[in-house]
Amino acid sequence: DRVVELIRPFQNVALWQIRIEASRALLDLEFHGKGLDDALILFMQFIDKEPSLR
């Protein structure tokens, strides 16, 4: 069951690519607007919320 949960987010490649690009753009905006520290904090929040990145 745990393996199925880990694989599920990768089943639809198009949605996964959109999520990656949207996250990348948001991190880029955060970096240019607020600096490296805030961008790293946001990235750490992404890691905490996204189970497929663990």
Domain ranges of the chain: 2-53
The CA-atom distances, in angstroms, between 5 and each of 9, 15, 22, 48, 53 are 8, 16, 22, 16, 12
- Tokens 């599920």, residue located: 8
Whether the CB-CB separation of 9 and 54 falls below 8 Å is answered with no
The pLDDT of residue 54: 56
At 49 the pLDDT is 86
Distance CA 27, CA 38 (A): 9
- Give the position of tokens 């198009």: 14
What pLDDT does 8 receive? Answer: 77
Q: Is the pTM of this model over 0.75?
A: no
pLDDT tens profile 7-49: 777 777 788 788 889 999 999 999 999 999 999 999 999 888 8
pLDDT score at 4: 82
